[in-house]
Structure 1
Protein backbone atom coordinates (compact mmCIF):
# COMPACT_ATOMS: atom_id res chain seq x y z
CA UNK A 1 0.00 0.00 0.00
CA UNK A 2 2.87 2.31 0.71
CA UNK A 3 4.42 1.99 -2.78
CA UNK A 4 1.05 2.63 -4.37
CA UNK A 5 0.94 6.20 -3.05
CA UNK A 6 4.56 6.90 -3.90
CA UNK A 7 5.01 8.46 -7.36
CA UNK A 8 7.62 7.06 -9.68
CA UNK A 9 10.35 9.44 -10.83
CA UNK A 10 10.97 9.94 -14.52
CA UNK A 11 14.21 8.69 -16.01
CA UNK A 12 16.68 11.33 -17.12
CA UNK A 13 19.08 10.97 -20.02
CA UNK A 14 22.18 12.96 -20.76
CA UNK A 15 21.75 13.30 -24.51
CA UNK A 16 23.98 15.38 -26.72
CA UNK A 17 23.58 15.55 -30.51
CA UNK A 18 26.26 13.61 -32.35
CA UNK A 19 26.80 15.80 -35.40
CA UNK A 20 25.99 19.27 -34.04
CA UNK A 21 28.97 21.61 -34.40
CA UNK A 22 27.33 25.00 -33.96
CA UNK A 23 27.27 27.82 -31.49
CA UNK A 24 24.82 28.03 -28.65
CA UNK A 25 22.13 25.67 -27.52
CA UNK A 26 20.81 23.36 -30.29
CA UNK A 27 17.51 22.94 -28.44
CA UNK A 28 16.66 26.62 -28.24
CA UNK A 29 13.48 27.25 -30.20
CA UNK A 30 13.69 30.57 -32.00
CA UNK A 31 11.59 31.88 -34.80
CA UNK A 32 13.44 32.46 -38.05
CA UNK A 33 12.37 36.10 -38.32
CA UNK A 34 12.93 37.13 -34.69
CA UNK A 35 16.31 38.64 -35.46
CA UNK A 36 14.69 41.04 -37.96
CA UNK A 37 11.89 42.21 -35.65
CA UNK A 38 12.60 45.30 -33.65
CA UNK A 39 10.10 44.35 -30.94
CA UNK A 40 11.55 40.87 -30.36
CA UNK A 41 14.92 42.05 -29.08
CA UNK A 42 13.75 44.77 -26.73
CA UNK A 43 13.87 44.73 -22.99
CA UNK A 44 11.09 43.05 -21.11
CA UNK A 45 8.09 44.93 -19.87
CA UNK A 46 4.85 46.07 -21.36
CA UNK A 47 5.85 49.74 -21.48
CA UNK A 48 9.06 48.99 -23.42
CA UNK A 49 7.19 46.81 -25.91
CA UNK A 50 4.57 49.49 -26.54
CA UNK A 51 7.15 52.22 -26.94
CA UNK A 52 9.13 50.17 -29.47
CA UNK A 53 5.92 49.33 -31.34
CA UNK A 54 5.01 53.03 -31.55
CA UNK A 55 8.52 53.80 -32.79
CA UNK A 56 7.98 51.26 -35.55
CA UNK A 57 4.72 52.94 -36.50
CA UNK A 58 6.49 56.28 -36.89
CA UNK A 59 8.83 54.81 -39.52
CA UNK A 60 7.57 55.18 -43.05
CA UNK A 61 6.84 51.89 -44.78
CA UNK A 62 6.32 51.00 -48.39
CA UNK A 63 3.73 53.40 -49.81
CA UNK A 64 2.74 50.97 -52.57
CA UNK A 65 1.95 48.40 -49.91
CA UNK A 66 -0.36 50.82 -48.12
CA UNK A 67 -2.21 51.70 -51.33
CA UNK A 68 -2.49 48.03 -52.29
CA UNK A 69 -3.86 47.22 -48.83
CA UNK A 70 -6.51 49.96 -49.06
CA UNK A 71 -7.57 48.79 -52.54
CA UNK A 72 -7.87 45.16 -51.40
CA UNK A 73 -9.91 46.14 -48.34
CA UNK A 74 -12.19 48.30 -50.50
CA UNK A 75 -12.78 45.48 -53.01
CA UNK A 76 -13.53 43.04 -50.19
CA UNK A 77 -16.04 45.45 -48.64
CA UNK A 78 -17.79 45.97 -51.98
CA UNK A 79 -17.85 42.21 -52.57
CA UNK A 80 -19.36 41.69 -49.13
CA UNK A 81 -22.01 44.32 -49.78
CA UNK A 82 -22.81 42.70 -53.14
CA UNK A 83 -23.18 39.26 -51.52
CA UNK A 84 -25.62 40.49 -48.87
CA UNK A 85 -27.58 42.48 -51.51
CA UNK A 86 -27.05 45.84 -49.87
CA UNK A 87 -29.12 48.48 -51.61
CA UNK A 88 -27.13 51.68 -52.23
CA UNK A 89 -30.21 53.55 -53.48
CA UNK A 90 -31.16 54.48 -49.93
CA UNK A 91 -28.30 56.99 -49.99
CA UNK A 92 -29.18 58.46 -53.40
CA UNK A 93 -32.88 59.33 -52.97
CA UNK A 94 -33.54 62.34 -50.69
Structure 2
Protein backbone atom coordinates (compact mmCIF):
# COMPACT_ATOMS: atom_id res chain seq x y z
CA UNK A 1 0.00 0.00 0.00
CA UNK A 2 1.33 3.39 -1.00
CA UNK A 3 1.29 6.41 1.30
CA UNK A 4 0.08 9.83 0.16
CA UNK A 5 3.65 11.08 -0.05
CA UNK A 6 4.65 8.14 -2.26
CA UNK A 7 1.62 8.64 -4.53
CA UNK A 8 2.48 12.33 -4.98
CA UNK A 9 6.05 11.36 -5.86
CA UNK A 10 4.88 8.77 -8.39
CA UNK A 11 2.30 11.14 -9.93
CA UNK A 12 5.11 13.64 -10.49
CA UNK A 13 7.25 10.97 -12.20
CA UNK A 14 4.32 9.74 -14.33
CA UNK A 15 3.41 13.19 -15.62
CA UNK A 16 5.67 13.00 -18.68
CA UNK A 17 4.98 9.36 -19.54
CA UNK A 18 3.01 8.27 -22.59
CA UNK A 19 0.33 5.58 -22.19
CA UNK A 20 1.68 2.08 -22.81
CA UNK A 21 -1.67 0.31 -23.33
CA UNK A 22 -5.21 1.19 -24.34
CA UNK A 23 -8.33 -0.44 -22.97
CA UNK A 24 -11.00 -0.61 -25.64
CA UNK A 25 -14.23 -2.38 -26.39
CA UNK A 26 -12.96 -5.78 -25.15
CA UNK A 27 -12.27 -4.37 -21.70
CA UNK A 28 -9.87 -6.10 -19.29
CA UNK A 29 -8.68 -9.40 -20.77
CA UNK A 30 -6.24 -11.98 -19.41
CA UNK A 31 -3.80 -11.02 -22.15
CA UNK A 32 -3.94 -7.35 -21.11
CA UNK A 33 -3.32 -8.28 -17.46
CA UNK A 34 -0.31 -10.43 -18.42
CA UNK A 35 1.15 -7.71 -20.65
CA UNK A 36 0.60 -5.12 -17.92
CA UNK A 37 2.45 -7.29 -15.40
CA UNK A 38 5.36 -7.68 -17.84
CA UNK A 39 5.47 -3.94 -18.56
CA UNK A 40 5.43 -3.15 -14.84
CA UNK A 41 8.33 -5.52 -14.25
CA UNK A 42 10.32 -3.71 -16.95
CA UNK A 43 9.30 -0.11 -16.13
CA UNK A 44 7.77 -0.07 -12.62
CA UNK A 45 5.48 2.87 -13.50
CA UNK A 46 3.09 2.90 -16.47
CA UNK A 47 0.10 4.78 -17.83
CA UNK A 48 -2.89 3.07 -19.43
CA UNK A 49 -5.45 4.93 -21.51
CA UNK A 50 -9.14 3.98 -21.57
CA UNK A 51 -10.83 4.59 -24.90
CA UNK A 52 -14.31 6.10 -25.30
CA UNK A 53 -15.83 2.79 -26.44
CA UNK A 54 -14.81 0.96 -23.23
CA UNK A 55 -17.98 0.13 -21.30
CA UNK A 56 -16.27 -0.62 -17.98
CA UNK A 57 -16.12 1.88 -15.14
CA UNK A 58 -12.63 3.37 -14.98
CA UNK A 59 -12.25 2.80 -11.23
CA UNK A 60 -13.41 -0.82 -11.42
CA UNK A 61 -11.14 -1.41 -14.41
CA UNK A 62 -8.14 0.09 -12.61
CA UNK A 63 -8.79 -2.02 -9.50
CA UNK A 64 -9.18 -5.28 -11.44
CA UNK A 65 -6.12 -4.55 -13.57
CA UNK A 66 -4.03 -3.68 -10.51
CA UNK A 67 -5.23 -6.77 -8.68
CA UNK A 68 -4.45 -9.02 -11.64
CA UNK A 69 -0.97 -7.54 -12.09
CA UNK A 70 -0.38 -7.27 -8.30
CA UNK A 71 0.29 -3.56 -8.60
CA UNK A 72 -0.86 -0.38 -6.87
CA UNK A 73 -3.15 2.20 -8.43
CA UNK A 74 -1.37 5.54 -8.18
CA UNK A 75 -4.00 7.66 -9.90
CA UNK A 76 -7.10 7.56 -12.06
CA UNK A 77 -7.55 10.89 -13.79
CA UNK A 78 -9.81 11.40 -16.78
CA UNK A 79 -9.44 8.28 -18.90
CA UNK A 80 -5.89 7.58 -17.73
CA UNK A 81 -4.81 5.01 -15.15
CA UNK A 82 -1.37 5.13 -13.54
CA UNK A 83 -0.05 1.88 -12.03
CA UNK A 84 3.09 1.15 -9.99
CA UNK A 85 4.74 -2.11 -9.01
CA UNK A 86 8.23 -2.42 -7.58
CA UNK A 87 10.39 -4.44 -9.96
CA UNK A 88 12.27 -7.43 -8.58
CA UNK A 89 15.08 -7.21 -11.18
CA UNK A 90 15.01 -3.71 -12.72
CA UNK A 91 14.49 -1.43 -9.70
CA UNK A 92 14.94 2.18 -10.79
CA UNK A 93 12.51 4.16 -8.62
CA UNK A 94 13.36 4.83 -4.98
CA UNK A 95 10.18 5.74 -3.13
CA UNK A 96 10.29 8.27 -0.29
CA UNK A 97 9.40 6.83 3.08
Please say which structure displays the higher CA radius of gyration: 1
Structure with the largest fraction of helix = 1
* TM-score where L is the length of structure 1: 0.25
TM (normalized to structure 2)? 0.24
Q: Could you say which structure has the greater relative contact order, defined with CA pairs below 8 angstroms and 6 or more residues apart?
A: 2
